[in-house]
Amino acid sequence: MKAGFYQFNPGFGKKEDNIRKVVSAVKNAEVDFLVLPEFFATGYQFISPDEVAELAEPVPDGYTTEALSELSSERKIFIAAGLPERHGDKFYNSAVLTGPQGFIGVYRKTHLFFEENLYFTPGDTGFKVWNTEIGRIGIMICFDWFFPEAMRSLALSGAEVVAHPSNLILPHCPDSMPVRSLENRVYAITANRTGIENRKAGQSLRFIGKSEIVSPKGEILVRAPEDEEVLMAAEIDPGTAKDKKLNPFNDLFKDRRPEYYKPLS
């Protein structure tokens, strides 16, 4: 199957324009699974709780999730995409998974980055994996990558493809994802954004692009440039992620020694 990402520069607060842009990018794309950036329809740099309250939405009955479900069903594709979620009186940095039959599930970001901590509640869903007709899909969001436990938890729960909606600012992720994929033998699709947001005096955020798809062997199948709006895709075979063997003596999951990993919990 063909998996892809759409890397672009969303305008802050311009949900309709940003979603229109995604719909137009997908129109001519041949993909079965598409990953969009973190906060793809709202932009990233929130500067007040009121702004978060105004732009966050319930899931699945909100404008953005409904638009994604519609796009999934029209194009018969699966989509993973990030959005600010309102749930009761809490706000989460979330990502939804939609498919041809509509909404499938939501993941709430576990490890909040920087000033996200001012506005959002750390996620309470844990690392979820959905068994779909195109493979077992897990989601983590941006800074989650910095914690090897995130991808490991997804892989141990059976994820074959990890969708990774992102708004990366630090430079380390693109060159680190091959290691995450290699040690867990899973595909990873990082969908980052481009552009600069300087909505707050003295705080200019530059997003580093370089979205990529990485194979279970740690190969970068495609990588976007730093500053280009682009939809890129690669042929992937999620079933190969079931094989954790390195050689006749080593299986990366069977060789684990959890009795010696107690400090991890």
Rank residues 113 and 130 by Cβ distance to ligand ACM and give the closer one. 113
Q: Contacts with ligand ACM in 98-137 (CB under 6 A)?
A: 113
In the chain, beta strands by DSSP E: 2-7, 33-35, 78-87, 90-99, 102-108, 129-132, 135-139, 161-165, 187-191, 196-200, 203-206, 212-214, 220-223, 230-235, 245-247, 250-251
Phi then psi for residue 207, to 5 deg, are -95, 140
Q: Kindly tell me which residue out of 5, 130, 143, 187 binds ligand ACM, with binding defined by CB under 6 A.
A: 143
Within 8 A by CB and 6+ apart from 156, the residues are: 253
Rounded distance between C-alpha atoms, residue 191 and residue 200, angstroms: 25
Residue tagged active-site, from 15, 109, 128, 210: 109
Is 254 one of the annotated active-site residues of the chain? no
Within 8 A by CB and 6+ apart from 127, the residues are: 107, 110, 138, 140, 150, 153, 154, 157
Is 142 one of the annotated active-site residues of the chain? yes
Rank residues 98 and 190 by Cβ distance to ligand ACM and give the closer one. 190
Residue tagged active-site, from 142, 173, 197, 212: 142
Q: Contacts with ligand ACM in 44-73 (CB under 6 A)?
A: none
Rank residues 12 and 103 by Cβ distance to ligand ACM and give the closer one. 12
Residues paired with 197 in a beta bridge: 205
Residue tagged active-site, from 15, 21, 38, 57: 38
Distances (CA, A) of 148 to 69, 179, 182, 183: 31, 10, 12, 10
Q: Kindly tell me which residue out of 142, 213, 233, 236 binds ligand ACM, with binding defined by CB under 6 A.
A: 142
Rank residues 170 and 246 by Cβ distance to ligand ACM and give the closer one. 170
Is 169 one of the binding residues for ligand ACM (CB under 6 A)?
A: yes
* Residue 68 near residue 59 (C-beta atoms within 8 A): no
Span near ligand ACM by CB under 6 A; candidates 52-60, 67-75, 97-105, 161-169: 161-169
* Residue 188 near residue 162 (C-beta atoms within 8 A): yes
Is 70 one of the annotated active-site residues of the chain? no
Is 207 one of the binding residues for ligand ACM (CB under 6 A)?
A: no
Rounded distance between C-alpha atoms, residue 7 and residue 233, angstroms: 11
Rank residues 128 and 164 by Cβ distance to ligand ACM and give the closer one. 164
Is 220 one of the binding residues for ligand ACM (CB under 6 A)?
A: no
Encoded one letter per residue, x for contact with ligand ACM by CB under 6 A and - for no contact, window 10-39 reads: ----------------------------x-
43-65 as b/e: b if 16+ CB within 10 A: bbbbbeeebbeebbbebbebebb
Span near ligand ACM by CB under 6 A; candidates 27-35, 156-164, 165-173, 241-249: 165-173
Residue 96: what residue type? V
Span near ligand ACM by CB under 6 A; candidates 23-31, 163-171, 182-190, 221-229: 163-171
Residues marked as catalytic: 38, 109, 142
Interacting residues with ligand ACM (CB under 6 A): 38, 113, 142-143, 167-169
